Amino acid sequence: MTPATRSSEGTTRRREKLDVVDRFLPLWVLSAMALGLAVGRLWPGIGAALGRWQVQSVSVPIALGLLLMMYPILARVRYGRVREVARGWRSTVFPLVLNWAVGPAFMFALAWALLPGAPALRTGVILVGLARCIAMVLVWNQLAGGDPEYATVLVALNAVFQILAYAGLAVFYLEILPAWLHLPHQAISVDPSTVALSVLVFLGIPLAAALATRVGLGRWKGPSWYDRRFAPRIGRLTLWGLLFTIVVMFAIQGLSITTLPLTVVEVMLPLLAYFLGMWLLAYLGSRLMRFGYEKSVTVAFTAASNDFELAIAVAVVVFGVASREAFASVIGPLVEVPVLLALVYLALWSRPWFERRPARAGGSDPGGGRGPPSVARTGPERERTP
């Protein structure tokens, strides 16, 4: 057997191994959730220790997992395309309206409709709805074959709006609007520094590291080496970061979740309706605007995802770690992770629906074959469909 043959067979075996990993991604995610719940339930001291490991209200273990998860995705973004994908005003304004006007109002309505007699739980759910996702949305977008550069633009815009608007929106939806509607309301004060710190840790650090890597290694070894050799090697870190983050999140709250199952179900109802409703509204709206599949799926996951890390941090700082507001906020990832993973497969299944209708300016998608999602897709070699 020649060295070339052995190399070819080794590459084939590696690809087959990755395919197996990706094919059973839902199993790995559900297993991580179950492991986290088991740790939190059987060894509550471990979950409590993980929950106490914080710096300025930011969970250190969750931050480490998200950094490990986001860095490979941001490192392979072609930042030269950012200006190109952000050029159309429709593709910028539409997702911002969904995220900062429709999303908070929709969650407010759902919380009051489905949790009318549970003010603390209602407040926690509303805090989740106000926090727009700047981290895990990149994973869902990648798995569904969305536009990575467009996703980076939307995440960056959401980060800016998060710093500027989150505290004001919290006061408006928890205090001012209920008073206007003659509903029970409560005074709330959100420290803007808590929001800014969350954005810095969960987006600023991995983005700065990714930019430094692309500029430094790209100049040293060349863009081709970077996209074809380096980016694929770090791609699998995203999966491990995702699974680690899920285990930690569910371990921290495993005891509470398993002790109060009926309360969990009560909180899950508005969250489930929110994730499904926002995703469908954004996905169908983007298709009507003819963004193309890749941009449409990016808009959908950006609109449906939430920054549960920020919502939990605000609930803990304002109401206390043992409050029902904090408990309601931690149910967010319990619902979001499996629901958005299922929506990834729904997006992939529905892709031919987009390809039967040509896209206009504001998004394009050449199409291609379909397959299981992958967390290791990279750069120019990224397949057009997962």
Instruction: Give the list of residues 6+ apart from residue 164 with CB closer than 8 angstroms, or none.
Output: none
Query: Is the per-residue pLDDT at 136 higher than 70?
Result: yes
pLDDT digits (tens, 9 = 90+) for 56-84: 667 788 788 878 877 887 887 777 666 66
Cβ-based neighbour number of residue 305 at 10 Å: 28
pLDDT digits (tens, 9 = 90+) for 24-35: 777 888 888 889
The dihedral region occupied by 5, where left means phi > 0, alpha psi between -120 and 50, and beta the remainder, is alpha
Q: Hey, what CATH class is 25-355 in?
A: mainly alpha
User: What pLDDT shows up at residue 365?
Assistant: 44
Query: Is the per-residue pLDDT at 338 higher than 80?
Result: yes
User: What pLDDT shows up at residue 30?
Assistant: 84
Mean pLDDT of 173-179: 91
Decide: 135 and 158 in contact? Cβ < 8 Å. no
User: What pLDDT shows up at residue 281?
Assistant: 96
Decide: 199 and 170 in contact? Cβ < 8 Å. no
Domain extents in the chain: 25-355
Q: At 247, phi and psi to the nearest 5?
A: -60, -45
Query: Is the per-residue pLDDT at 15 higher than 70?
Result: no
pLDDT digits (tens, 9 = 90+) for 180-198: 998 887 777 777 777 777 7
Mean pLDDT of 364-385: 44
- For residue 147, how far is the Cα from the chain centroid? 14
d(CA 277, CA 283) in angstroms, rounded, equals 10
